[in-house]
Structure 1
Amino acid sequence: MPKERPVKKSRIHQEVQKQGIVFNKDFGQHILKNPLVITSMLEKSGLRSTDVVLEIGPGTGNMTIKILEKAKKVVACEIDPRLAAELQKRVQGTPYQSKLTIQMGDALKSELPFFDLCIANVPYQISSPLVFKLLLHRPFFRCAVLMFQREFAQRLVAQPGDKLYCRLSINTQLLARVDMLMKVGKNNFKPPPKVESSVVRIEPKNPPPPINYTEWDGLTRIAFLRKNKTLAAAFKQTSVMEMLDKNYKLHCSLHNKEVEADFNIQEKVIGILEKLECGQKRARTMDTDDFMNILYGFNAEGIHFS
Structure 2
Amino acid sequence: MPKATSHKRGPSGGASPYSKPSPSTANVKSNAIFKMNTDLGQHVLKNPGVARAIVDKADLKQSDIVLEVGPGSGNLTVLILEKARKCIAVELDPRMAAEVTKRVQGTPAARRLDVVLGDVIKTELPYFDVCISNTPYQISSPLTFKLLATAPSPRVCILMFQREFALRLFAKAGDKLYSRLSVNAQMWAKIDHIMKVGKNNFKPPPAVESSVIRMVPKNPRPNISYEEWDGLLRICFVRKNKTLRANFLGTTSVLNLLENNYRTYCAQNDISLDDGPVDSTTATNGNEVLMELENTPAQSNDDAWNGFDNDGDGDNNNNNEMDFDLDPDADEDDLPAFFKEESKLKLSNSGTRKRKGKVHELVREKVRSVLEDKTQLADKRARMCEEGDFLRLLYGFNLEGIHFT
1:162-201 matches, within 5 Å, as 162-201=175-214
Task: Name the counterpart of 1:244.
Answer: 258
Corresponding position of 1:34:
47
SS at match of 2:108: coil
The count of corresponding residues between Structure 1 and Structure 2 is 293
Tell whether the 8 Å contact from 1:16 to 1:86 is kept in structure 2 after alignment. Answer: no
Distance 2:219 2:192 in 1: 17
| Counterpart for residue 133 of structure 2 | 120
The corresponding residue for 2:389 is 290
Q: 2:80 aligns with which of 67, 78, 81?
A: 67
2:6 is matched with which residue? none
Equivalent position of 1:3 in the other structure:
none
Percent identity between the two aligned chains:
55
Q: How does 1:1-306 map to 2 (within 5 A)?
A: 17-19=31-33, 21-236=34-249, 237-261=251-275, 262-263=358-359, 264=361, 265-275=363-373, 276-306=375-405
Change (3 A) 1:239 1:93: same
- Secondary structure (helix, strand or coil) at the match of 1:165 reads coil
Alpha-carbon distance in 2 for matches of 1:15, 1:146: 32
Superimposed CA distance per residue, residues 108-133 of structure 1 (whole angstroms, 9 cap, x where no aligned partner) = 11111111100010001100111000
Aligned to 1:4: none
Given residue 231 of structure 1, which amino acid in structure 2 is its aligned partner? L
CA drift of 1:268 comes to 2.0
Residue type of the alignment partner of 1:175? W
**What is the CA distance between 1:260 and its match in structure 2?**
3.3
Deviation at 1:18, TM superposition (A): 2.4
Distance 1:105 1:273 in 2: 46
Tell me, in whole angstroms, the C-alpha distance in 2 between the residues paired with 1:152 and 1:214.
22
Using the alignment, how far apart are the partners of 1:274 and 1:178 within structure 2? 32
Distance 2:29 2:101 in 1: 14
In the other structure, the counterpart of 2:353 is none
Provide structure 2 residue ranges, at least 5 long, that are not aligned to the other structure: 1-26, 276-357
Tell me which amino acid in the other structure corresponds to 1:139.
Answer: P
Does the residue aligned with 1:218 lie in a helix, a strand or coil? helix
The whole-number CA distance in structure 1 between the counterparts of 2:159 and 2:366 is 44
User: CA separation in 2, counterparts of 1:55 and 1:239?
Assistant: 43
Q: Secondary structure at the match of 1:256?
A: coil
Question: Given the superposition, is the C-alpha separation of residues 15 and 57 from structure 1 closer, same or farther in structure 2, using an over 3 Å criterion?
Answer: farther
2:170 partner letter: V
The answer to whether the Cα contact below 8 Å between 1:52 and 1:115 also exists between their aligned partners in 2 is yes
Structure 1 unaligned segments of length 5 or more: list them: 1-12
**CA apart distance, 1:256:** 0.3
**One-letter code aligned to 1:186:** K
Q: Structure 2: which amino acid aligns with 1:247?
A: N
Describe the superposition over 1:60-113 as per-residue Cα deviations: whole angstroms up to 9, x where unpaired.
001001101110000001000010011111111111111011111110111111
Aligned equivalents of 2:30, 2:189: Cα separation in 1: 38
Q: Structure 1's 15 and 303: CA in aligned 2 closer, same or farther, altered over 3 A?
A: farther
Name whichever of 270-279 and 64-73 sits farther off: 270-279
Work out the CA distance in 1 between the residues paired with 2:31 and 2:214: 32
1:136-174 CA-to-partner distances (Å, cap 9, x unmatched) read 110111000011100001001100000000011100000
Q: What is the distance in 2 between the residues matched to 1:109 and 1:124? A: 16
Letter in 2 for 1:269: V
Deviation at 1:211, TM superposition (A): 0.6
**Deviation readout 1:205-227 (Å, 9 max, x if unpaired):** 00111110111000001101110
Q: 1:60, 1:160 → 2: CA distance?
A: 39
Task: Compare the two structures and name the one with the higher helix fraction.
Answer: 1
Aligned in 2, Cα 1:207/1:244: closer, same or farther, shift over 3 Å? same
- Give secondary structure in 1 for the equivalent of 2:31: helix
Q: CA RMSD in A?
A: 1.3
Alpha-carbon distance in structure 1 between the residues aligned to 2:75 and 2:85 = 17
1:17 CA drift (Å) = 3.0
The CA deviation string for residues 11-64 of structure 1, in whole angstroms up to 9 with x for no partner, is xx9987322x11111110000011111111111111111100000000000100
